[in-house]
Amino acid sequence: MDKKFQWNAWYFLLAFSLLLMFQGWWSERQAVEPIAYSEFLKLLKDGKLSELSINNQQISGKLLEPINNRSSFVTNRVDPALAEELAASGAKFTAVRENTLVANLLSWLLPLVLIFAFWSFLFRRLTDKQGGLGGLVSVGKSKAKVYVERDTGVTFDDVAGIDEAKAELEEIVSFLKDQPKYSRLGARIPKGILLVGPPGTGKTLVAKAVAGEAGVPFFSISGSEFVEMFVGVGAARVRDLFEQARKAAPCIIFIDELDALGKMRGVGAFGGNDEKEQTLNQLLAELDGFDPREGVVLLAATNRPEILDPALLRAGRFDRQIVVDRPDRKGRVAILKVHIKRIQAAAEVDLVQVAGITPGFTGADLANLINEAAITATRRGAEQVSMDDFTRAVERIVAGAERRGRLLLPHEREVVAYHEMGHALAASSLPGMDPVHKVSIIPRSIGALGYTLQRPTDDRFLITLGELKNRMVVLLAGRAAEQLLFGEISTGAADDLAKVTDIARQIVTRFGMSADLGQAVLERQSNSFLGDNLIAMREKDYSEQTAREIDLAVRQLIDKAYRRAGEVLQQRRAELDEGARLLLERETITPEDFPPLRPERTAGAQ
């Protein structure tokens, strides 16, 4: 609420109070001076009174003959029974009237003050939520936080693992620092640059690094802050943001989570007055209206580019789309070098090896990994973070925390030991499989009763049909070991079966690797960086006969992989028994503890 309005309201209450006090004082000044009740009784007895007026508290009237220049009188009533006794005593007496001015004022003012305070509280809460701290006057003002170079504190030296994105953004920095160099040939800087990629890959960080390198003001705002309850407020904030940016040019505007603002129109909207649609229309108009020569650069980031409005992505608005993807092995090493400076790491720590056991990790995941490793080292009272701490941190992130308090029955521990050893021996027997790093039967918090950790030697971008089939064999080797040793299967392979089914289905429907169904792509891959939409129905543009052929082909691949897993383990039965006994004894083993886990054997790829 406006402070000026608050002061005016309090002035009004003060003036009203003074008016009531003056009214009471004036009424008392204009009143007739009261006489003693004993004198009233005497005058009444002598017959000197007329025109009496009686109420519950006072008696007033006129004197037949003026006394001391007074022709009227007033007196406060006394209880009649008491008055008779007092009159008989001959004493002079009168009643004292209680002064109720303060009580009357409070009875008027206190309810008004409480009502006004309650109304002010509710109004302030409403205006703060919808219009910020400035109330209704600032409801259309932008909530963008302005950072300058000293505030961002981030440069390109703090960003690693996304060299291609950095190279493209360096042009933006060069333009902001030296505009004439680019304008001499008629070139103009792109109006908008959209950073897309999975969560945690460093989109916001690299945007701050651009501002830090260029040394220009950095306007940062989330797309959700433009969306309000009142229609038109978001559009007003867009206008205000660009007005602020033009005054501070050269500068950078960064809109995080652009999908909250730029979602495709016509999906779930109710006509042209929808608040989100108006806000998006205003953003489109502003992108068309500002001159890139002013030095205003718009950066935006999103994890869901597939739902953005096509009008927002066309050339002339967002001219460039830069993919900030998950880092490869080399990029992970560079990211680890940046973050490892914050902890006391031992000299033995091999970042190349850490990067090898973290495929698919983003920059945020790697930063969390280093922090978890430091916590693990601190928990055991070490002076430095060792390589074993990093391995434990990876296991905690991938498989969950250890739950040594979960006690399994002896038979269950034996089943888990053979299950995990089946995975490990199959992985060491087949070509193209990642080497086994560790095998454990310690239960984990995510529900796993054991796990087999493999360490990739290289980042893979192409996988052959034979390697996909070998992966299926490794996944099914756990259940095959149970069948081979105990003659029955358990529920422990549920997660393995889900992964095997997914691989088999992709072989048939996405990769065109089935001889029966040919090279056709029957199911398309999702373009979402957040993964497949599990709620939506799977797209199906083939007949029921084709669907049956797909199911049969998937089942055939899985059955063949299961039979082959049993054959591999049957050939290594002695090593399976020996490895399971060692695993039951130590709970966790590595290839150094059990040499048969090393990838020295090979088998056919079919």
Give the annotated binding-site residues for ATP: 197-204
Closest CA to 191 of 320, 305, 279: 320
SS3 sequence of 117-149: HHHHHHHHHHHHHHHCCCHHHHCCCCCCEEECH
* H or E element that contains 377: helix 363-379
296-302 β-sheet, strand order: 145-147, 218-222, 251-256, 296-302, 192-196, 320-323
| Closest to 427 in 3D by CA, of 439, 440, 416, 415 | 439
Cα–Cα distance, 359 to 354 (Å, whole number): 10
User: Could you tell me how far CA 538 lies from the centroid of its own chain?
Assistant: 28
228 is catalytic: no
Cis peptide before 250 (omega within 30 of 0): yes
The partner residues of 345 in beta bridges, in order of sequence, read 385
Report CA Rg, the chain.
42
Strand arrangement of the beta sheet that strand 58-67 belongs to: 49-54, 58-67, 70-76
d(CA 540, CA 464): 26
DSSP 406-430: -PPPHHHHHHHHHHHHHHHHHHHHS
How far is C-alpha 345 from the geometric centre of its chain's CA atoms? 31
Q: How far apart are CA 506 and CA 523, in angstroms?
A: 8
Contacts of residue 479, defined as CB under 8 A and 6 or more positions apart, other chains included, come to 419, 422, 489, 492, 493, 496, 497, 562, 565
The one catalytic residue in 420, 467, 482, 587 is 420
Question: Strand, coil or helix: what is 322?
Answer: strand
Contact yes or no for 375/442 (Cβ under 8 A)? no
- The β-bridge relationship of strands 49-54 and 58-67 is antiparallel
User: How do strand 296-302 and strand 49-54 relate by DSSP bridges?
Assistant: unpaired
The answer to whether the beta carbons of residues 211 and 245 sit under 8 Å apart is: no
Q: Report d(CA 384, CA 316) in Å as an integer.
A: 53
By three-state DSSP, how is residue 317 classified? coil
The answer to whether 191 touches 312, Cβ cutoff 8 Å, is no
* Dihedral, CA of residue 586, residue 590, residue 593 and residue 596, to nearest 10: 120
Identify the residue whose tokens are 């290594």. 572
**Which DSSP state fits 300?**
E
Q: Which residues are annotated as a binding site for Zn(2+)?
A: 419, 423, 496
Angstrom distances, CA of residue 317 to CA of 179, 192, 206, 321, 409 = 20, 6, 20, 11, 64
Residues labelled catalytic: 420
